[in-house]
Amino acid sequence: MSASDPVPVVIAGAGSTGATAALLLARRGIPTVIVDRRSDELTHPAAHVIHGRTLEIWREADPALAERIAALAPPIESVNLIRWCSTLSKPPLGEIDLASRPEQLARVRSHSDFLISHVGQHQLMPELWSALDREPLVDFRRSTRVEDVDHHSDTVTARMSTGEEVTAHYLVGADGANSLLREAAGIPMRGPVLARMGSAFFRAPGLYPADARPLLSWIYQPKFAGVMIAHADDHYVLMNTYLHPDQEVATSREEYWARTLPGVLGGDLHFDIVSTGTWTMTSQTAQTFRR
């Protein structure tokens, strides 16, 4: 293929969807150019639940990759508690033990080689990006985004933020919930906004005993209501909802969480904030999946 020939596929966005698409295409001998606006992997955790079927798909793309990702997941027996509480230092209001029915767990294990797994996106993305770098049929370009698209009779030309133009037979928009490509293609999203969420990613050694750390803690206090998710290496994500974009949790995130965390966790506990963020929870579906 000469430099002027169209490439088979350009993928905009190297998140879990775009990266997986590139690896699956490579498995079938199809080269791709995949671009992502970030220079480094996502470090603020977003999603954290990986279904067994997803791991099966990664195994199809790269068996070694699937094994590495599965190895990141803690044993089911250590992420089995969901707890409701008013404070972390006192007995909970109630809790559910997801591992309390061994017969159900045995039945689930019979469905697949993989269980539903708890792996933070900040752990997942380095593995996926390393797999892209290793794959000779993938041309992975960081710090690059598709800014405009020209449609031709049987190809499209993607104009990159770097000034380069790449012509392809197919252009895949995997650039997230606020996809520029979807907007450019005139594909509407239908469905409601469910909630606006603020979050803090922090490390707090000693918050829980190692053998009694709940996966989820739903916390209800007079000045705070939210959920805390336990991640690897004594890391946690604490989230709450807000109503208006001018609230402090959205406009002054670091100051808000530095003041809020001591009251939620307990004033004497040492913690280090790694990052903060906001996101919008929706229940939306694209009206079409191609143009």
Instruction: Indicate which CATH number applies to the domain containing 123.
Output: 3.50.50.60
Q: Residue 1: is its pLDDT beyond 80?
A: no
β-bridge partners, 141 = 35
User: Do 157 and 266 belong together in one domain?
Assistant: no
Please state whether beta strands 165-173 and 156-160 pair in parallel, antiparallel, or not at all (unpaired). Answer: antiparallel
Do residues 61 and 27 share a domain? yes
Predicted pLDDT of residue 43: 81
For residue 31, being part of any structural domain is answered with: yes
Asked if residue 235 and residue 171 are part of one domain, the reply reads no
Domain coverage including residue 260: 74-114+189-291
Q: Give the residue from 145, 160, 184 where a domain finishes.
A: 184
> How many structural domains are present in the chain?
2
pLDDT band at 204 (very low <50, low <70, confident <90, very high): very high
Same domain, 39 and 135: yes
Mean pLDDT of 134-147: 97
Banded model confidence at residue 14, pLDDT cuts 50, 70, 90: very high
Q: For residue 81, what is the domain's CATH number?
A: 3.30.9.10
Between CA 20 and CA 16 the distance in angstroms is 6
Does residue 1 lie in a domain region? no
Q: Cα separations (Å) of 202 from 257, 263, 281?
A: 10, 14, 21
Residue 2 pLDDT class (50, 70, 90 cuts): very low
264 and 122 within one domain: no
Residue 243 lies in a domain: yes
Are residues 59 and 98 located together in one domain of the fold?
Answer: no
- Residues 64-89 have pLDDT tens digits of 999 999 999 998 888 889 999 999 98
Please report which confidence band the pLDDT of residue 4 belongs to, taking 50, 70 and 90 as the band edges.
low
Average pLDDT over residues 250-255: 96
Same domain as 251, residue 126: no
Q: What is the pTM of this model?
A: 0.90
Query: pLDDT tens-digit profile of 206-250?
Result: 898 877 889 999 999 999 999 999 999 999 999 999 999 999 999
In a domain, 221, yes or no: yes
79 and 194 fall within a common domain = yes
Structure tokens at 227: 């959920």
Q: What is the mean pLDDT of the chain?
A: 92
